Structures are given as structure tokens and as C-alpha cells.
């Protein structure tokens, strides 16, 4: 049975559908939660297939992604698969708006990331998007969780870069038996 999932913001849902002759059964719910199901019957197999394909296309348009089972052959009379109607889903996590992010960043003259948990991985990400930061008059990285390896990388990210003191790079190292990231976050007043 094909399984589709949708995860964005606080939504974390699944939807499954199975076509069997003149009927289809759909199941849905929150991932990890309770499931509901429904079976619909039609007068003939063609009518059931038409409704099945309509429902699949609606879910894909809404952002559901096929994660298991066989993809359906969409409602084309020749039996060929229909072209996908939705764009690929964005990476999981909070929804992002790149245009909004760019518009906000372009208005900044100074970006103060001091006294936080910015790590070497964060610097690597900033270096990849270097053009987005070069208009900044100042980038403040004082008292972050950076190692000395990041110091040469930040040069040229902004007109002035305050690397400052990096007293606690251990804030961004893996610790413990589970090897998870452990960070101390400093809060400025």
C-alpha cells in the first residue's frame, strides 16, 4: 500500500491508499498516533481508479511525499504514469522562506552572533553563502563556540570581522556515550 507523509511546521501526518477492484481503502493519521481508515466502493473499477488517482494527486499537490509502497499509475487511459504535479518537498524542519531571509539580511549593517553557540559547522555554512554577508559593515563572532580552524575562514565574510575570544570551543563538541552535540549557550543582557 503506497504511503505518503507530510511534515511541515507542527504537522507530521501520513496517508495511505490501496485500490482493490471497484473500491479503495485509505488510512490516515498523525505519525506515531492513532490511525483512521475508510473504504469507498464504486459501480465499476474505472470509477474507483478515477477517484483513487484524484485523491493521490490532491495529496501530492498539498505536499505529501511518497515514502513507501508502489507509486500509483495515474489516471491516464493508456496506463502510463502521470507526470508529478508537485515540487519536491523542502528539507524537513522549520519551513523556510529564502526570499524573506535574504531581504532581512540585506537590511543589516551589523550581524552580532557573539555569546552564542555558533560552531565551525555554522561558519562553514556562512562561507558557502559568502555573498550574502559581504555587504555587512561588521560581523561579531566574539565568545562563540568556534575553534581556531574557523579563524581563517571568517576573513572576508564582512568588511570587519570581530573574531574576539573563543574561550569555550568545547561548547560545540560531541560528548558522552551517545556522542551527541553538547553546547553551552551564553546569554547577554
Domain architecture of the chain: domains with CATH: 3-68 (2.20.140.10), 98-182 (no CATH)
Binning pLDDT at 50, 70 and 90, where does residue 23 land? very high
The more confidently predicted of residues 89 and 52 is 52
Would you state the pLDDT for residue 164?
76
Task: Tell me what the mean pLDDT of segment 142-161 comes to.
Answer: 84
* pLDDT beyond 60 at 31: yes
- pLDDT > 80? residue 178: no
CA distances from 59 to 12, 28, 39 (A): 14, 12, 17
State yes or no: pLDDT of 60 exceeds 70.
Answer: yes
pLDDT for 48: 92
- In the predicted model, what is the mean pLDDT of the chain? 76
Q: What is the mean pLDDT of residues 20-25?
A: 93
Mean pLDDT of 45-58: 92
Q: Worst-scoring range by mean pLDDT, 6-10, 33-37, 93-97, 132-136?
A: 93-97
With a cut of 50, say whether residue 27 has pLDDT above it: yes
**Average pLDDT estimate for 75-100:** 50
Residue with cell 488517482: 53
In the predicted structure, residue 174 carries a pLDDT above the cut 60: no
Long-range Cβ contacts of 47-55 (<8 Å, 24+ apart): 47/22, 48/19, 48/21, 48/22, 48/23, 48/24, 49/19, 49/75, 50/75, 51/24, 52/17, 52/19, 52/24, 53/82, 55/17, 55/24, 55/26
Please say if the pLDDT value at position 44 is more than 90. Answer: yes
For residue 37, is pLDDT > 90? yes
* Residue 40: predicted pLDDT: 94
Structure confidence at residue 85 (pLDDT): 44
Q: Which of 54-68, 139-153, 164-178 has the weakest average pLDDT?
A: 164-178
Identify the pLDDT of residue 140.
86
Backbone angles phi, psi at 121, to 5 degrees: -65, -40
Amino acid at each position: 500500500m503506497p504511503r505518503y507523509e507530510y511534515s511541515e511546521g507542527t504537522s507530521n501526518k501520513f496517508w495511505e491508499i490501496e485500490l482493490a477492484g471497484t473500491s479503495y481503502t485509505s488510512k490516515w493519521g498523525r505519525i506515531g498516533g492513532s490511525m483512521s481508515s475508510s473504504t469507498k466502493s464504486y459501480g465499476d473499477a474505472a470509477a474507483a481508479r478515477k477517484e483513487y488517482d484524484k485523491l493521490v494527486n490532491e495529496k501530492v499537490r498539498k505536499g505529501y511525499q511518497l515514502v513507501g509502497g508502489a507509486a500509483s499509475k495515474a489516471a491516464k487511459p493508456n496506463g502510463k504514469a502521470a507526470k508529478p504535479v508537485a515540487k519536491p518537498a523542502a528539507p524537513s524542519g522549520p519551513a523556510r522562506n529564502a526570499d524573506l531571509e535574504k531581504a532581512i539580511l540585506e537590511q543589516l549593517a551589523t550581524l552580532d552572533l557573539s555569546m552564542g553557540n555558533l560552531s565551525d559547522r555554522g561558519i562553514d555554512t556562512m562561507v558557502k553563502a559568502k555573498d550574502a554577508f559581504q555587504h555587512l559593515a561588521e560581523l561579531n563572532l566574539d565568545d562563540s563556540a568556534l575553534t581556531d580552524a574557523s579563524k581563517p575562514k571568517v576573513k572576508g565574510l564582512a568588511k570587519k570581522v570581530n573574531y574576539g575570544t573563543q574561550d569555550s570551543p568545547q561548547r560545540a563538541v560531541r560528548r558522552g556515550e551517545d556522542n551527541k552535540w553538547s553546547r553551552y549557550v551564553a546569554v547577554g543582557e
